[in-house]
Amino acid sequence: MTNKFRLLFIYIVFSSIWIVVTDNIIVYLNLPKEILIVFQNIKGFIFVLITSCFIYYLVLKKEAYESEKEENNKLTILINSMVDFVNFKDGNGKWIEANDFALKLFQLEGIDFRGKTDSELAQFTDFYGDALRYCEISDEQAWKHGKPSRYIEEIPMPDGTLKTFDTIKIPSFHENGERKELVVMGRDVTEKVFAEKKLAESEQKYKSLFEFNPELVYMVDIQGRLTNANDHFYRYTGNELDSYLYKSILPIISEKDRPKVLRAFLEVIHTNKPWINEEIEIVTKENVKKVLRCTAVPMIINDEIVGAIGYATDITKEKETEELLRKTEKLSVVGELAASVAHEIRNPLTSIKGFIQMIQSTQMKTENELYYKIMLDELERINIIASELLVLAKPQQIQFQVKDINMILTDVKSLLESEANLHGVTLKVETDVHLPKIECEPNQLKQLFINLIKNSIEASAKNITISVSIFDVQSICLIFTDDGCGIEEERVKHLGEPFYSMKEKGTGLGLTVSYRIAEFHNGEIKFSSKINHGTIVKVILPIKR
């Protein structure tokens, strides 16, 4: 029996009893007519009053019922239209309401779920029995937490896959603290979690490729500003990355290569053409030049070029090695050629020189003295060149001796002082008596020092200073300083190459011989020069070979 008919039945029973009882009381009391009329009126008024209250209650109840029904319908439509599962439970964990998604998820379609707990509903679905029983455990945690709680839960599917749900449980309590209701909502985030996992894997691969790449990886935006680079940026340039972020990198690049880099960047950005294996020169924070082999490709996001990404490899050592191999190959060829040529020309040279000297001592001596002198000088020049060629030949057995470098420098000064004075050059040698003796071949070192001093004299120097000091524990350093015309930077790197000379009558063998002598002694020669400011040459020699 519904509430409506129940109320109607109660009303009929109450009315009947009221009429019968009141009428019988009137008869029983045998009241006078005047009082009987008053009593009848009061009885009727009370009946009307009670009936009015009853009818008013019925109307309100009906409106409330209809309103509640309408709200319930709205709630049902709302929760069933949601892509999340929604579940309402009372304070004892019994299901009050659930949407179609939740019923379908747990295979409870067609089951009268209201008033049943998760454990009781678990009996209706073998596959999700454990999942429903676990819900009671997580519900209890939410009740204890006392406020909205969030959980990531995995629910198995019949096809063997797992669905991941982002679940929110919201408990509510009565004023006395007793449990009132628990609202459970869960959203399927399986695809989102999968996408996040893939994104995390992709980011990890990108991070590994970017940060742990053995080469410099860099990114620039469409304005040519550096947006990111790995740690090799500091190793290659000596500059902190922060100091160049969102700034142009052109200041790092050598001036001669800046136009090339700018053209290449514009090609990458505007024509979508990659820039592959181009060599550029950069200048580090310590003003050291390095050569990088660079590649850059367009960086495209949403079919739009937003910048360029590329990598660079430091090939400075590779270029130096190539240059060294080139010089070594050239020296090897020159050495082989020098050995044969020197031996071949020295014997006829000796004969020619002897005959000229013999003719010079005859009666024609006075008439052709100038010619004899020129011929002898040129023959001596040929002899010197032959000697230098022999030095360039295969290394010879050299007898090293322990000598005082100060004495060798003093001897060199004595040999060249008159020539220096003739050219108006002041030759100054600063010795150090505390220097240790070194293992060397003194005649070769003399030739090395003479070559360097003569180069300074021929470079129009007016002051030449030679100083010597301890370079480190195992080496000494000789510094030759002059105020001559200087050497162009581009030519400095070619010094020491066979037959490379800037002098009109130079053979290009003097510095080649000097480098070879330094090499024989396991030492090195370093040039630094500026046009019109002179040249500084450092000769570093080991104390013990």
Tell me whether residue 100 is exposed, middle or buried, using C-beta atoms within 10 angstroms of its C-beta: 0 to 12, 13 to 18, 19 or more: middle
Summarize pLDDT for 62-103 with one digit per residue, the tens: 665 566 566 666 666 666 666 678 888 998 999 888 888 888
pLDDT at 499 over 60: no
pLDDT at 489 over 80: no
Rounded mean pLDDT, 377-399: 63
Q: Does 217 lie in the same domain as 185?
A: no
Of 314, 339, 361, the one marking the end of a domain is: 314
Alpha helices in 361-404 (DSSP H): 369-392
pLDDT at 170 over 60: yes
Q: Does 73 lie in the same domain as 89?
A: no
Q: How many CA atoms lie within 13 A of 178 on its CB side?
A: 5
Supply the pLDDT for residue 19. Answer: 74
Rounded mean pLDDT, 208-231: 84
Highest mean pLDDT among 65-74, 322-331, 401-410, 468-477: 401-410
Do the domain assignments include residue 201?
no
Res. 430 pLDDT band, cuts 50 70 90: confident
Return the closest-CA partner of residue 534 out of 459, 449, 466: 459
Give the residue with greater pLDDT, 506 vs 209.
209
Percent of the chain with pLDDT over 70: 74
Q: How many CA atoms lie within 13 A of 220 on its CB side?
A: 24
pLDDT at 400 over 80: yes
Q: Does 383 lie in the same domain as 414?
A: no
Contact 366, 488 (CB under 8 A): no
Of 78, 97, 122, the one marking the end of a domain is: 78
Q: Does 536 lie in the same domain as 472?
A: yes
Alpha helices in 82-155 (DSSP H): 100-105, 118-121, 129-145
Contact 533, 486 (CB under 8 A): yes
Query: Rounded CA gap, 62 and 4, in Å?
Result: 8
Supply the pLDDT for residue 94. Answer: 92
As a residue count, the chain comes to 545
pLDDT at 396 over 60: no
Computed on alpha carbons and rounded to an integer, the radius of gyration of the chain in Å comes to 53
Highest mean pLDDT among 42-56, 203-217, 254-268: 254-268
Q: Does 386 lie in the same domain as 330?
A: yes
Do the domain assignments include residue 257?
yes
Of 78, 99, 123, the one marking the end of a domain is: 78
Rounded mean pLDDT, 471-490: 84
Q: Does 444 lie in the same domain as 333?
A: no
Residue numbers of the domain that contains 453? 401-542
Q: Does 406 lie in the same domain as 497?
A: yes
Supply the pLDDT for residue 539. Answer: 92
Res. 346 pLDDT band, cuts 50 70 90: low
Rounded mean pLDDT, 178-187: 88
Contact 207, 254 (CB under 8 A): no
Do the domain assignments include residue 46?
yes
Supply the pLDDT for residue 241. Answer: 87
Domain count, the chain: 5
Tell me whether residue 98 is exposed, middle or buried, using C-beta atoms within 10 angstroms of its C-beta: 0 to 12, 13 to 18, 19 or more: buried
Rounded mean pLDDT, 188-212: 75
Three-state DSSP class for residue 146: coil
Do the domain assignments include residue 205?
no
Q: Does 430 lie in the same domain as 538?
A: yes
Supply the pLDDT for residue 77. Answer: 63
Q: Quote the mean pLDDT of the chain.
A: 79
Summarize pLDDT for 133-155 with one digit per residue, the tens: 888 888 888 898 888 888 888 88
Can you give the CATH number for the domain in which 222 is found?
3.30.450.20
